[in-house]
């Protein structure tokens, strides 16, 4: 039970439906869709489309998508990988011959073929009830008629003002006289409204073929990109077999590689080999979480890649033997040896959506353009803002995650689902780029080790060890409480650039026939049930 004398939020409660998103307009849209006869996947896609408009720095149709679905609240979880591939001409040797040793954020080579629209249309066709015209109508109206800027969106634009000022289209749409807009000011995206309308009427082909595709390809090619109309026309996501691991008797489901869900499972398996004690955020508990994360992320940098083109040893990474080996490296009072190749990360922007409907269909849905406002590149006629997911590739020959033709990069965005006794109990996700795998483990540990309610677990202060370093980004409350203790164990503790991540979750209470929802205060959104 939360202390009602302290600031915070109560969990949302409902019986017929529940939605949790990082923007109030998206949550409201999801509830409206459910009330009008749509199911959970209809509501999730509608909410995501709205966020592509009103929270454009976090997501867009120029990005990628992953989803987990649990039909009728069962434990038969369905996974969909909607991440895009590189152009067919993106051969490693070409980059080497061009002298390109790293992929810059605003380079056209950071833009893989966006997979979101294909994922939306496929999931709705296979599992939804409503037409894409009706599902996209709220987003189209907001893009055409205007939407008000919320506080977190205003802050994100302010942080990315220099990036947005470079491209004439992003400068025109997102900036006000080259400055970040004020909270409550109105923005319009008429070009995006037309593109969404075309997708609603004509489906995926309106994006991957025809005028919209021509606009995207010609723009990227003018910047030196290798993209072709054929690359867009052949874009296709796929259903994949979920991976899972148990934690304290609960089964946690994730999408398989190329996503980093496997890293969340690895962290949980390591944590299960320790018994937490005292306050969840005391120095000893967080030391173990940090060390488990550093070890699992070192494995990520070594092995994680597109399983369709590289040999990712999933069974080995999730084996008890490997978890035992990693856990044995953790010392209670000093840093372990967890070498990696990343020397700093940005907590990237993403939207995560959780929806459960009256039939207990549960959808865990995540859509991203990676860094805030992605690459900063926008196709001028269609209004498509491109992600920069290609930056996750490694330009090291022979590495599993090296760039190559029609290849998907290592992906940070991961939806989560938890089941027990043949039923889905929890649909959840944690935004925040590279942080997400640790975020999953951190959140579930607080639920199952400390019996915290979802909202209280989400509101706890966060920290994140930057992969490949001994530096920890820690929010203010952690720095003040135990920062010196962590530094005494050999870590460097620094403030994050901004609040770490964001989370949403929906719990299905099968005993009482109710739904509980939670949403992160680090974003503008909320959970609503009815």
* Residue 345 confidence (pLDDT) above 70: no
Residue linked to tokens 């649909």: 427
Long-range contacts formed by 32-37: CB under 8 A, 24+ apart? 32/138, 33/130, 33/135, 34/355, 34/357, 34/358, 34/530, 35/530, 36/130, 36/134, 37/129, 37/130
| Average pLDDT estimate for 258-262 | 96
pLDDT-wise least confident of 47-56, 71-80, 274-283: 274-283
Mean pLDDT, rounded, of the chain: 95
Model confidence at 337, in pLDDT bands (50, 70, 90)?
Answer: confident
Res. 69: pLDDT tops 50:
yes
- pLDDT above 70 covers a percentage of the chain that reads 98
- Confidence (pLDDT) at 471: 95
Structure tokens at 85: 């591939």
Q: How far from 227 is each of 89, 108, 222, 232, CA to CA, in Å?
A: 8, 9, 10, 8
Q: What is the pLDDT of residue 4?
A: 86
pLDDT at residue number 349: 65
pLDDT at 346: 52
pLDDT score at 342: 40
Could you read off the pLDDT of 81-92 as tens digits, one per residue?
999 999 999 999
List, for residues 484-519, the tens digit of each pLDDT value: 999 999 999 999 998 999 999 999 999 999 999 999
pLDDT at 412: 92
Q: Is the pLDDT of residue 344 over 80?
A: no
| DSSP tally for the chain: helices H, then strands E | 19, 19
Instruction: Give the distance from CA 474 to its chain's centroid.
Output: 20
- The DSSP output letter for 74 is B
Tens digits of per-residue pLDDT, 74-118? 999 999 999 999 999 999 999 999 999 999 999 999 999 999 999
* 72-88 residues labelled b (16+ CB within 10 A) or e (exposed): ebebebbbbbbbbbbbb
DSSP 351-418: EEEEEE-TT--EEEEEEE-SSTTTTS-B-TTT-PBP--GGGGSB-STT-TTB--TT-PPPB---EEEE
| Tokens linked to 436 | 């997400």
pLDDT value of position 6:
84
Upper half-sphere CA count for residue 430 (Cβ side, 13 Å): 25
- pLDDT for position 8: 87
pLDDT, tens only, 430-471: 999 999 999 999 999 999 999 999 999 999 999 999 998 999
Q: Residue 333: what pLDDT?
A: 81
Looking at residue 341, what is its pLDDT? 38
- What is the per-residue pLDDT across 185-200, written as a single tens digit (0 to 9) for each? 999 999 999 999 999 9
State pLDDT tens for residues 120-148.
Answer: 999 999 999 999 999 999 999 999 999 99
Whether the per-residue pLDDT at 339 is higher than 70: the answer is no
* Whether pLDDT at 1 is above 80: no
| Residue-range domain boundaries for the chain | 12-62+80-95+107-235+372-392
The arithmetic mean of pLDDT across residues 273-291, rounded, is 95
- Top-confidence residue, 479 or 333: 479
Per-residue model confidence as pLDDT tens digits over 296-317: 999 999 999 999 999 999 999 9
Range 281-290 average pLDDT: 95
For residue 426, the cross-strand partners are: 418, 507
Residue closest to 409 by CA, chosen among 128, 81, 169: 81
Active site residues: 350
DSSP 521: T
Using 50, 70 and 90 to split pLDDT, how confident is the model at 326? very high
């Amino acid at each position: 039970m939360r202390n009602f004398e302290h600031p915070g939020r109560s969990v949302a409660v409902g019986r017929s439906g529940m939605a949790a998103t990082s923007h109030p307009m998206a949550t409201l849209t999801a509830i409206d869709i459910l009330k009008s006869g749509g199911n959970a996947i209809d509501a999730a896609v509608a909410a995501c489309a709205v966020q592509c408009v009103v929270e454009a720095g976090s997501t867009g149709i120029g990005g990628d998508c992953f989803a987990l679905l649990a039909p009728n609240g069962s434990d038969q979880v369905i996974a969909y990988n909607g991440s895009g591939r590189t152009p067919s001409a993106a051969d490693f040797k070409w980059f080497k011959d061009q002298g390109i040793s790293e992929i810059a954020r605003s380079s056209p080579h950071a833009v893989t073929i966006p997979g979101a629209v294909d994922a939306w249309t496929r999931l709705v066709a296979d599992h939804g009830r409503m037409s894409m015209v009706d599902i996209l109508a709220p987003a189209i109206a907001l893009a055409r008629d205007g939407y008000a800027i919320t506080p977190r969106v205003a802050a994100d634009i302010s942080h990315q003002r220099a990036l947005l000022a470079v491209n004439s289209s992003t400068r025109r749409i997102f900036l006000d006289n080259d400055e970040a807009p004020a909270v409550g000011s109105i923005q319009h995206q008429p070009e995006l409204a037309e593109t969404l309308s075309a997708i609603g009427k004509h489906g995926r082909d309106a994006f991957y073929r025809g005028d919209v595709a021509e606009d995207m390809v010609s723009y990227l090619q003018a910047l030196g990109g290798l993209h072709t109309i054929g690359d867009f026309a052949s874009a296709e996501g796929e259903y994949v077999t979920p991976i899972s691991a148990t934690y304290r008797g609960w089964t946690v489901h994730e999408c398989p590689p190329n996503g980093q869900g496997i890293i969340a499972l690895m962290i949980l398996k390591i944590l299960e080999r320790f018994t937490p004690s005292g306050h969840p955020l005391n120095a000893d508990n967080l030391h173990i979480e940090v060390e488990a994360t550093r070890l699992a992320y070192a494995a990520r940098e070594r092995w994680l890649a597109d399983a369709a083109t590289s040999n990712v040893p999933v069974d080995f990474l999730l084996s008890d033997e490997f978890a035992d080996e990693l856990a044995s490296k953790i010392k209670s009072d000093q840093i372990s040896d967890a070498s990696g190749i990343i020397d700093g990360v940005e907590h990237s922007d993403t939207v995560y959506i959780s929806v459960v409907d009256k039939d207990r269909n549960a959808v865990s849905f995540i859509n991203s353009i990676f860094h805030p406002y992605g690459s900063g590149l926008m196709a001028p006629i269609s209004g498509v803002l491109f992600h920069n997911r290609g930056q996750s590739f490694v330009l090291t020959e022979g590495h599993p995650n090296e760039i190559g033709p029609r290849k998907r990069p290592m992906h940070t965005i991961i939806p989560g689902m938890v089941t027990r006794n043949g039923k889905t109990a929890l649909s959840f996700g944690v935004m925040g780029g590279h942080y997400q795998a640790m975020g999953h483990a951190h959140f579930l540990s607080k639920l199952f080790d400390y019996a915290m309610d979802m909202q209280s677990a989400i509101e706890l202060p966060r920290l994140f060890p930057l992969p490949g370093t001994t530096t920890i980004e820690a929010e203010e409350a952690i720095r003040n409480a135990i920062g010196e203790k962590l530094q005494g164990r050999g870590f460097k503790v620094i403030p994050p650039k901004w609040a770490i991540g964001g989370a949403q979750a929906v719990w299905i209470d099968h005993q009482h026939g109710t739904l509980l929802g939670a949403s992160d205060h680090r974003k503008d959104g909320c959970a609503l049930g009815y």
